[in-house]
Structure 1
Amino acid sequence: MTLRRKLLLVALCTLALPVAGWLYVRQMETLLREGQAQALVASARAVARSLVVTGAALPQDARGWYVQIPTSPITVDGYGDDWAPLTPWSQPLGPRGGALLAADAGGLYLYAWERGSVRRRADADDPDALHADHFLLELDRGDTRLRYLLASAAPGPFDARLLDPPVPGWPDRLAGQWQEDGGGWRVELRLPWPLDIDRLGLGLYDASAGGDPLAVDARPPWQYSATLAQELSRLVPDDTRARVLAPPGWLLAQSGRLQAGGRQPGWFAALVYRALLANRVEDAAPWTQDAPRLDLPEIAKARAGQPATVWREGETRASVVLAAAVPIGTPGQVRGVLLLEQASTTVPLLANRALLTLLATSFGVLLVAGGALLFFATRLSLRLGRLRDAAERAQLAEGRLEGLFAKGRFPMTAAGDEIGDLARSFEHLFEAIGGYTDYLRTLASKLSHELNTPLAIVKSSLDNLEHALEANAALPPEAQPYLARARDGVARLGTLVRAMSEASRMERAIAAAEPEDVDLREVVRGCAEAYRPLIGARSLACELPGAPLPMHCAPELIAQALDKLLDNALSFTPADGWLRLSLAPREDGAEIALANQGPPLPAAMQGRLFDSLVSLRDKATPGGAPHLGLGLYVVRLVAERHGGSAGAHDLEDGSGVAFTLRLRNMPRQRL
């Protein structure tokens, strides 16, 4: 991974800023909610105390029969079709029964049912009616109690029988409808309303189950109170909906309406708030305004004496509703529950505004930090690239530093930072390497110059010794081999000195060679034709391109390099082996390859073949010519003079080796 990419990743770490800010905005939204919830609970407590102090008509008991308001006219026929909209809020009666109560201007309607497959029938006037399946209705006011027996031997209309002495102003008999099927029986009747009663008793008797035939569940009747609603409207704050609920959650009064003030957020702001900022918000369905009963955890908590708050979805876009439920009454005697609800768009608007401000600020910080880091990474990469290029140029020039650096200095050595320290260290290193390589390059010429005089002294001394011995007497036979070996050693040393001197002159000649425009194909073809008489029984194949290959090069140097390659190849090719000389064009020049049959290259010598004074040939035998290992070194010098390189590799089939010479066009001299 590049340095710029690494620093870009570091810049991306600044994304932690918007994440932390997002968490902060969520916490701020929670604090705003808590503050608004505390304020609404305080208002609800004040309204609840006012209702108690003013003596509002609140429930005295914890249980009651709730009388609903029908949504459509009810026909007394014993069937539950008219009661379908009210059925979700039916009230249980006995283990297998239930009841619904509704009141309108026409009276109080009662619909009750008992589920069971076993049926014992009797009319209300039969003596044994109390032991058959029946429904018992009880009306209480003070000490007055009237009970009515509702029973029928067959489906259809019936008349309820009064079990107690009649009371003036109270009905003696009640008419209703009785229906039954395989799943049980149902009773429906209508009472005059309003009746001035304190309690209403309902009882279902199942003859197959037994029990007390006169048992009833007596409770006070509850219903929506317009008087309580009007009194409530004078106490609640504006833009707040208030509901007074009986302890079980039945609606007794309602006032006000939800209205979110202020500017309405757009759809995108609403989406952002719901998806990123809003904490858990309850669904609005259980809080619908048309429900006569609210059976919610918050109501149950308030009924137990503890205030409770909840946030739910609002009716308008991006609005939220805060609901606060507080008990009405004294501790230990809760007479009802007050529910206040406030719709708000302030919290979403503030949260969205804070988030957008945070995002804009974070984006700006991210851009500045990313741009600064990218600029720093780019500048640092460029500076390191200059150091790399300078080091590579020095390596290609074998450590020679002449002309490599501007004004004779390594780049960026004047910088005062760590890059400057690194550049100065490189400069000192290359100065040391340059001095050492210059010493090695001139070592051969120095040695050849210094050894010439001692060799001449040794040679003249041997000649004088031989003449002196021959002048006195014949040279002893046992001394002749030693004198011949001494002369041979001197001759070998002389050859080495001349070769070293020749290598120095060759380096200078290669550096001074003048390029010209030639057809490289003809140069290689001419060399191949000249080599054929020199290789003996060996075969030589020449592979050339079909079209001319013009190049701006030094043809005599290329021919000299090919001579060295051929001399090296002949040393390892069997007498009846083969050689192959090929020329191929390349995008940036040409490539000449000389392959020969022979042993593979030693693995240990792969990187040193083209160094000076390195040879793969066997040690020279006494009397033979020494091998200094300068041939492939000359090949490398010729390749580098042409801006290319020299290489060697084993053939894929293992039959021999191939030496390659990569060449580029030499630069043209300006006139």
Structure 2
Amino acid sequence: MSLRQKLLLVALCTLALPVAGWLYVRQMETLLRQGQEQALTATATAVARSLAVTDVPLPQPGTGWYVQQAVNPIVIDGYGDDWAPMTPWSQSLGKQSKLLLAEDENGFYLYIDVRASRRMRADAGDVNALSADHLILQLVQGDQHRRYLIASAAPGAFTALTLDPPAGDLPDRIVGQWQEDGSGYHAELRLPRGLGLSALGVGVYAAADGGDPLAVDVRPLWRYSQYLSQELAQLAPGGTRARLVAPEGWLLAQSGRLTTSGAQPSWWSSVIYHWLLANPLEDGEAWTTDAPRLELPEVKTAGKGQATTLWRQGEQRDSVVLATAVPVERGQSVVGVLLLEQASRAVPLLANRAFFSLLLTSFGVTLVAGAILLFFATRLSLRLGRLRDAVERAQLNDGRLDGQMIQSHFPMAEADDEIGDLARSFQKLFEAVGGYTDYLRTLASKLSHELNTPLAIVKSSLDNLEHAELSDEAQPYLARARDGVARLGTLVRAMSEASRMERAIAAAEPEDVDLAEVVGGCAEAYRPLAGTRQLECALPDQPVHLHGAPELIAQALDKLFDNALSFTPVEGWLRLTLRAIDGGAEIELANQGPPLPAAMQGRLFDSLVSLRDKATPGDAPHLGLGLYVVRLVAERHGGVASARNLEDGNGVAFSLRLHGMPRQRLAG
């Protein structure tokens, strides 16, 4: 991974800022909700206390019978078709019976559904009516009450039997309809509306089960009150919907409607809020139903004396509704539950604004930080790249150091930062290595100059010893000494020759030549020398022009051929190739033979380096100047000399890549 990519990853770490901001906005939304919850709960508690201390008719503690408002006209026929819209809110009467109560401007209605698998039938006027299946109805009007026996031996109309003496204006005669089916019976009746009943008692007696035939379940009557709704409307704050219900959830009063102020946000803002910012909203479908009974867990909790709140989705887009349920207490008893709802766009609006502001700020900070780090990484990469290129250019292809580049053109050596320190350290290192390399390169010429005088002294001393009388035993030692001096002289002359060749190559005069003619002529001259070896020469069809010294090129080819011939088997092959390249030409001489040692490939073209076997005693030493001359010729022509093993591993190839010598300008 590059430095730029690493710093880009560091820049991406700034993305933690919007994540932290997102968590902050969610926490802010939670705090806003908690503040609204506390405010609405306090308001609902104040309204509940106001209802408790006033004289409004609140239900008494305990259970009651709820009287629904008739949805459509009710016909007294003993069938429950007219009661179908109200059936979901029927009230349990014993284990297997249900009671429905309703009223309209025409009267007060009762519908009793009794499930019984076995029946004992009798009319209300029969002597054994109390022993058969029957109903007991008790009407309560303040302190007055009266009971009635309802029974029928067959489906049809019935007349209730009065069990108690007259009381107040309670009716003396009640008629209704009795119907049966395979699983039980139904009783339907109507009472005058103006009775002002405060309580109602209903009892179901099954002869098969036994029990008290006169037992009744007396409960107060609960109904929706317009007067209580008006009182609630005066106490509830504006913009809210208030509902007062009994502890069992029966609706007693309601006022107000949910209104959401403010402009409607876009669908995109709504999606952002609900998917990213909003804390979970509870299912509030039961809160939105217009039903006489609200079976809510919040009502049950408040009925036990504990206030509770919930957040639900509003009816309008991007709105939320806060609902709270608080108990209405008189004394130590809970007589009702107040439900207060408030719709709002403030929380989503504030959360969206905070989120978008944070998003823009975070994006800007991330963009600026990324741009700064990218600029810094790019600049740092470019500087390191320049330093790398300078280090690579400081070393030439033959391993020598470019002293001019090190001393004059080493980049960023003047910088004051760590890269400048690194550049100066490289420069000092290359200067030291370059000085040592130059010392090694000139060591041969220095040694040849310094060894001439000692060798002359030794040689003259040996010449004088020849004229002296030496024993026969000393003659072999004298011969060995003269042989050693001769070998040393050869080495000194070779080192001097290398220095002279460098000067001669540097002083060569260039001219325009056709390399095809030069290489072709050399190839024809080499054929007799190849003997049994096969020599191939591949030349281009077009002339290959070059501005250079043909005698130097031929000399370099002579050295390459001599080197290749010494390593090629007697039945082997040699291949001389010339090809044109961009800005020059390439001459390659390949031969069959052993591959180049890996450790020697970088030193083949140095002075006094040879791959041939050590000379046997008495033979002239091989000084390894041939490939050194080849390198000097290539460099004189602006090129490079190289060697490589062939891909098939059957030999090696030496090549000269030449670009020509610079043209001399004539003085004007």
Number of the residue aligned with 2:355:
355
Question: Conserved in 2, the CA contact under 8 Å of 1:158 and 1:177?
Answer: yes
Residues 649 and 96 (structure 1), Cα distance of their counterparts in 2 relative to 1, 3 Å cut: farther
Structure 2: state its 5+ residue gaps: none
Alignment map for 1:321-400 (pairs within 5 Å): 321-330=321-330, 332-396=332-396, 398-400=399-401
Q: How many residues align?
A: 661
Amino acid at match of 1:566: F
| Helix, strand or coil at the partner of 1:465 | helix
**Which residue among 657, 660, 663 is the counterpart of 2:657?**
663
Residues 51 and 570 (structure 1), Cα distance of their counterparts in 2 relative to 1, 3 Å cut: same
Q: 1:439: Cα distance to partner? A: 0.9
Residues 493 and 40 (structure 1), Cα distance of their counterparts in 2 relative to 1, 3 Å cut: same
Alignment map for 1:104-503 (pairs within 5 Å): 104-114=104-114, 118-120=117-119, 122-125=121-124, 134-151=134-151, 156-159=155-158, 161-162=160-161, 164-165=163-164, 167=166, 168-170=169-171, 172-181=173-182, 185-193=185-193, 195-205=195-205, 211-330=211-330, 332-396=332-396, 398-404=399-405, 408=408, 410-466=410-466, 468-469=467-468, 478-503=473-498
**Higher alpha-carbon deviation: 548-557 or 423-432:** 548-557
- Residues 1:540 and 2:535 are matched in the alignment: yes
**Higher alpha-carbon deviation: 518-527 or 495-504:** 518-527
**Higher alpha-carbon deviation: 38-47 or 596-605:** 596-605
Q: 1:48: Cα distance to partner? A: 0.9
Question: Conserved in 2, the CA contact under 8 Å of 1:510 and 1:641?
Answer: yes
Residues 104 and 525 (structure 1), Cα distance of their counterparts in 2 relative to 1, 3 Å cut: farther
**Higher alpha-carbon deviation: 29-38 or 98-107:** 98-107
- Residues 1:575 and 2:570 are matched in the alignment: yes
- Residues 1:626 and 2:625 are matched in the alignment: no
| Helix, strand or coil at the partner of 1:68 | strand
Question: Conserved in 1, the CA contact under 8 Å of 2:147 and 2:164?
Answer: no
| Helix, strand or coil at the partner of 1:220 | strand
Q: 1:143: Cα distance to partner? A: 5.0
Amino acid at match of 1:318: D
Instruction: Measure the CA separation in 2 of the matches of 1:547 and 1:132.
Output: 134
Amino acid at match of 2:593: G
Q: Report the RMSD for the aligned CA atoms in angstroms.
A: 3.3
Amino acid at match of 2:181: E
**Higher alpha-carbon deviation: 185-194 or 16-25:** 185-194
Question: Conserved in 2, the CA contact under 8 Å of 1:444 and 1:500?
Answer: yes
Q: 1:145: Cα distance to partner? A: 3.9
Instruction: Measure the CA separation in 2 of the matches of 1:221 and 1:515.
Output: 129
Instruction: Measure the CA separation in 1 of the matches of 2:250 and 2:661.
Output: 102
Number of the residue aligned with 1:17:
17
Question: Conserved in 2, the CA contact under 8 Å of 1:611 and 1:632?
Answer: yes
Instruction: Measure the CA separation in 1 of the matches of 2:54 and 2:654.
Output: 113
Residues 667 and 494 (structure 1), Cα distance of their counterparts in 2 relative to 1, 3 Å cut: closer
Q: 1:235: Cα distance to partner? A: 0.9
**Higher alpha-carbon deviation: 296-305 or 156-165:** 156-165
Amino acid at match of 1:317: R
**Higher alpha-carbon deviation: 445-454 or 573-582:** 573-582
Instruction: Measure the CA separation in 2 of the matches of 1:508 and 1:210.
Output: 141
**Higher alpha-carbon deviation: 308-317 or 216-225:** 216-225
**Higher alpha-carbon deviation: 166-175 or 632-641:** 632-641
Question: Conserved in 2, the CA contact under 8 Å of 1:205 and 1:213?
Answer: yes
Amino acid at match of 2:479: A
Instruction: Measure the CA separation in 2 of the matches of 1:264 and 1:65.
Output: 44
Q: 1:341: Cα distance to partner? A: 1.1
Residues 447 and 55 (structure 1), Cα distance of their counterparts in 2 relative to 1, 3 Å cut: same
Q: 1:569: Cα distance to partner? A: 2.5
Q: 1:253: Cα distance to partner? A: 0.7
Amino acid at match of 1:377: A
Instruction: Measure the CA separation in 1 of the matches of 2:249 and 2:243.
Output: 10
Question: Conserved in 2, the CA contact under 8 Å of 1:111 and 1:186?
Answer: yes
Could you tell me the TM-score, scaled by structure 1's length?
A: 0.88
Structure 1: state its 5+ residue gaps: none
Amino acid at match of 1:663: R
Number of the residue aligned with 1:598:
593
Instruction: Measure the CA separation in 2 of the matches of 1:329 and 1:134.
Output: 39
**Higher alpha-carbon deviation: 144-153 or 531-540:** 144-153
Number of the residue aligned with 1:504:
499
Amino acid at match of 2:478: L
Residues 394 and 138 (structure 1), Cα distance of their counterparts in 2 relative to 1, 3 Å cut: same
Residues 336 and 392 (structure 1), Cα distance of their counterparts in 2 relative to 1, 3 Å cut: same
Superposed CA offset, 1:99-126 (max 9, x none): 433332233344444556x342524445
Q: 1:436: Cα distance to partner? A: 0.9
Number of the residue aligned with 1:38:
38
Could you tell me the TM-score, scaled by structure 2's length?
A: 0.88
Q: 1:371: Cα distance to partner? A: 1.9
Question: Conserved in 2, the CA contact under 8 Å of 1:312 and 1:321?
Answer: yes
**How many percent identity over aligned positions?**
67
Residues 667 and 624 (structure 1), Cα distance of their counterparts in 2 relative to 1, 3 Å cut: closer
Q: 1:60: Cα distance to partner? A: 0.7
Amino acid at match of 1:618: D
